Amino acid sequence: MTRIRFAAVPALLLLVVSLPLFAEDELSVDLKFVPQEMVDASAPALAPSVLERSIRLVVEDARGGDPWSIGEGTDDDDETFPIVAATDVLPWLDATVREVADDWEVRTSRKAARVLTLRLTRFAVEESNKPLGSTYAAEVKLAFRLEEGGRTLAEGAASGDAHRYGRSRSADNCNEVLSDALKEALAEAFSHPRLQRAWASGRAAVDEQPAGSIEQRLKRLDDLRRKGLITEEEYDAKRAEILKEL
């Protein structure tokens, strides 16, 4: 009997080891768009000439890595745990962007000639445990590009962040700060003067730059790569395109 009992111990240990190590420790967030800021906050000032023009919206997830990972938090003992999305980020983001654009009275059409591509490059939340509750910080980064007929009319980057004090391990608080950060990033992108000029006129915004704009564009391109907002392939292709104008 004793031998049988001890023989069962390795099997029990093997079963325990085979279980997921962090499945019970992770915080799973069912993504919801629930911005908490005031009604008029984080809204772009869109020129009438922009609102008159329809665009086709394209939303992409360019974060890389695990698409379900959206951050991390700390427990009472300062041990970290992953924060993961229970919702596929890209479909949620696409629906949310269209909802926000509609609220801002932006005209969108799947047949529009001008295409605005929004690429999500960062979508992250951090929870920091405190003696009472937790603090939440979210950051969202976007790269945007407006095209028509294969020509790039405008491109750039935008970001948003949000902070809030809340309950420990709260999916609701995660959604609140992520929503505020996303709305702020979208407002910054849509407010960009270069984007609005190109959107309204159909002309490349760089055409309005003074002499020496090639150097400025190369510096801007370097900045986008350094911030991780474009891939190496996109950087090389765009750099070659700019240098052809010399």
Question: In sequence order, which residues have a C-beta less than 8 Å from that of residue 114 and are 6 or more positions away?
Answer: 53, 54, 55, 56, 146, 147, 148, 153, 199, 202
Residue type for 19, please? L
Which residue matches tokens 């959604």? 175
Give the pLDDT of residue 3.
47
The CA-atom distances, in angstroms, between 122 and each of 54, 71, 110 are: 27, 10, 26
Please give the structure tokens belonging to residue 84: 């993961």
Q: How many CB atoms lie within 10 A of CB 218?
A: 14
Q: Whole-prediction pTM value?
A: 0.75
Give the pLDDT of residue 205.
67
- In total, the chain counts a number of residues equal to 246
Residue type for 43, please? A
Give the pLDDT of residue 66.
95
Give the pLDDT of residue 208.
46
DSSP state letter for 125:
E
CB-based contact 191:183 (threshold 8 Å): no
Task: Write out the chain's pLDDT in tens, 246 residues.
Answer: 444 444 444 544 444 444 344 445 899 999 999 999 764 557 888 989 999 999 999 999 999 999 999 999 998 888 899 999 999 999 999 999 999 999 999 999 999 999 999 999 999 999 999 888 899 999 999 999 999 999 999 999 999 999 999 999 999 999 999 999 999 999 999 999 999 999 999 988 654 444 457 888 888 888 888 877 788 888 888 888 888 776
Rounded distance between C-alpha atoms, residue 193 and residue 158, angstroms: 12
* Cα dihedral 204, 155, 194, 225 sign: negative
Give the pLDDT of residue 41.
59
Give the pLDDT of residue 2.
46
